[in-house]
Amino acid sequence: MLCDIEEEALAKAVAALKLTNADVDGVRADVSLKAELQVAADATVARYGTVHILVNNAGVGGGGGYGRWTDASWNWVLGVNLMSVIWGIEIFGPLIEAHGEGGQIVSTASIAGLIPGSGLAYNVTKYGVVALSEGLRAILAPRAIGVSVLCPGFVRTQIMDSRRNVPQRFGALEAPPKEGPIAEFIKEFQERVSRGIDPLYVGELVREGIENDWPYIFTDTEFEPSIDDRFAAIKQGFDRIRGRQPRH
């Protein structure tokens, strides 16, 4: 069962997959709304009876840089990138537990969920998805449900065109600048995404991750040194206070 806010894209994906031997269906939903995710779950159970695998994959870029934050932009990014994962697990998790046959939950974070970047709102949501997945893994393992978090690097998606699907309830979000350092950074980022990893390859990695219950699914090693630097800095923080007696 596929779920998307974009009806045309959803119909196209379902039609293409039906050309294979897969039994595929789709349901339109704004995943940032808990009620619509519940409708999607009900449609899934009505169509297939049971649920074994949940893939939380919706994501948007944006939120505005420091000094340009708004309630609407934060609510949009938090709603799609983080709250949809929370509600997806809350709604679909019990459906996986119900049959007792085990299953897997995969949630898409980002390499930006492990190292800081310039998109702070995006980073906050992706760090949240990583923390949620790490915590749930220990909780759900005794119930035969694996939990994986996908932390991709640059993948060839439409993430830079997320605003095409901003729900009307958020109003007109402030457009990014067309000139200056921020505009140049966005242009460079768009170029990196356009040359990014093939999404089909990422899908193959996710399938392998599900089959082998990988806790972390990475798409490449480009940012491994940055992750090493992050944890080295954390270790230095402990080294600075090593041997000191806390005051009570």
Residues 6+ apart with CB under 8 A from 18: 24
Given the residues 48, 66, 122, 201, the one annotated as active site: 122
Do the Cβ atoms of 126 and 81 come closer than 8 Å?
yes
Interatomic CA distance for residues 205 and 199, integer angstroms = 10
Say how many residues make up the chain.
248
Do the Cβ atoms of 146 and 210 come closer than 8 Å?
yes
Q: Which helix (H) or strand (E) holds 150?
A: strand 145-151
Residue 201 a catalytic site member: no
Q: Which two tokens stand for residue 167?
A: 């729900």
What is the DSSP-derived secondary structure letter of residue 6?
-
Q: Which residues are catalytic?
A: 122
